[in-house]
Structure 1
């Protein structure tokens, strides 16, 4: 694994959810330099050649958001059991991966590609600031983003906001967003997930 990617990979979202749900799982390592993701066997599971992928007794699911929603539906955990509550989790899961992640991730990519200080980068920063300000207002009187309880939407939103691909300086003005991140990342399941991840990655 590229050193910069450590702590930034989307499998962390899945591992965190599994820890929160108390579900048993087995991690299967993939060797990026050895082109494991380009093998015919792997591309049959994910034609995009990306991780994470789960194989749940023959049910193959890719894309971290889809995996979390699948696991929540299957386990009955981190997802309300009523249709209205489920709709809010779906709503905010998609918002995390589109309305929030798209501008901050694109801004990061343009920045590391030599685009800092350019008009496109400035426009992306304005877009990111707008979304974070709107999110900050939403979180002003809420403990979690979708419902009164912690859900998979919070895992997705937290990882989007805390990943290295989000410039943490962007979050500085938004006290409600930062308090929200602290609440979510103080959860024991996240700490267990990240500690185990670091030990595994460093050992590899």
Structure 2
């Protein structure tokens, strides 16, 4: 059975926001069986030699699909979509749009948002560097908001792994402060997290994952 290396315990601030949720959500949407291998982050489970042979960067998530080991959440989602034949069009043109928007979520959107958050967390709030990062993120969110005007989903006419990834990059509705000024982005995010598979995934995660 497919194994998902996900968190069993994390620090309080990270609980509910970790990237294993992206994979777990996709698996629920696809109806694929899996088991979670719980990793205790405060106990340094990710730093063991055994885990570093699976992922040299010591990060979550990782999947082991009968010996096929895949790391990086975007790569995992694309692998699972190809494996299941779900959440991605089967035609080349449609697949290209999903690939395009998965990469956009991880590079064009997540980089400025996450970098600004990290800079502020580490004492940079109010500095010129922090202000520049926030302006960069705001520019990208405004552009995304324009793209989503009149669109239900980001890549195609149907929900795909690109929507799942973009939604989680934007905060998955846990904290709407990032997208509150962008009505089309906010509406998109709310549509996606209204899906039953997200609620099931998030509830199971909260039941399983402890906060340190």
**TM-score, with length taken from structure 2:** 0.92
Looking at structure 2, the residues matched to 10 and 63 of structure 1 have their Cα atoms a distance apart, in angstroms, of: 9
Q: Is the 8 A contact 1:96 1:157 kept in 2?
A: yes
Structure that is richer in strand per residue? 2
- Answering whether residue 40 of structure 2 is matched by residue 31 of structure 1, we say yes
Q: 2:192 aligns with which of 184, 191, 195?
A: 184
Looking at structure 1, the residues matched to 86 and 76 of structure 2 have their Cα atoms a distance apart, in angstroms, of: 13
- Answering whether residue 73 of structure 2 is matched by residue 73 of structure 1, we say no
Q: Is the 8 A contact 1:104 1:167 kept in 2?
A: no
Looking at structure 2, the residues matched to 74 and 167 of structure 1 have their Cα atoms a distance apart, in angstroms, of: 32
For residues 147-168 of structure 1, give each alpha carbon's deviation from its aligned partner in whole angstroms, at most 9, with x where no partner exists.
Answer: 000000011100010159x974
Q: Is the 8 A contact 2:172 2:189 kept in 1?
A: no
Where 2:116 maps in the other structure, the secondary structure is helix
Structure that is richer in helix per residue? 1
Unaligned runs of 5+ in 2: 1-9
Judge which range, 169-178 or 121-130, deviates more: 169-178
Where 1:191 maps in the other structure, the secondary structure is helix
- Answering whether residue 162 of structure 2 is matched by residue 133 of structure 1, we say no
Where 2:70 maps in the other structure, the secondary structure is strand
For residues 83-125 of structure 1, give each alpha carbon's deviation from its aligned partner in whole angstroms, at most 9, with x where no partner exists.
Answer: 0000000000000000000000000001111111110111011
Corresponding pairs, count = 203
Q: Is the 8 A contact 1:38 1:49 kept in 2?
A: yes
- Answering whether residue 27 of structure 2 is matched by residue 8 of structure 1, we say no
Q: 1:87 aligns with which of 96, 119, 126?
A: 96
Structure 1 pair 31/42, CA: closer, same or farther in 2 (3 Å)? same
Looking at structure 2, the residues matched to 33 and 203 of structure 1 have their Cα atoms a distance apart, in angstroms, of: 9
Q: 2:131 aligns with which of 101, 113, 122?
A: 122
Where 2:39 maps in the other structure, the secondary structure is coil
Provide the aligned C-alpha RMSD in A: 1.6
Shift >3 Å, 4+ stretches = none
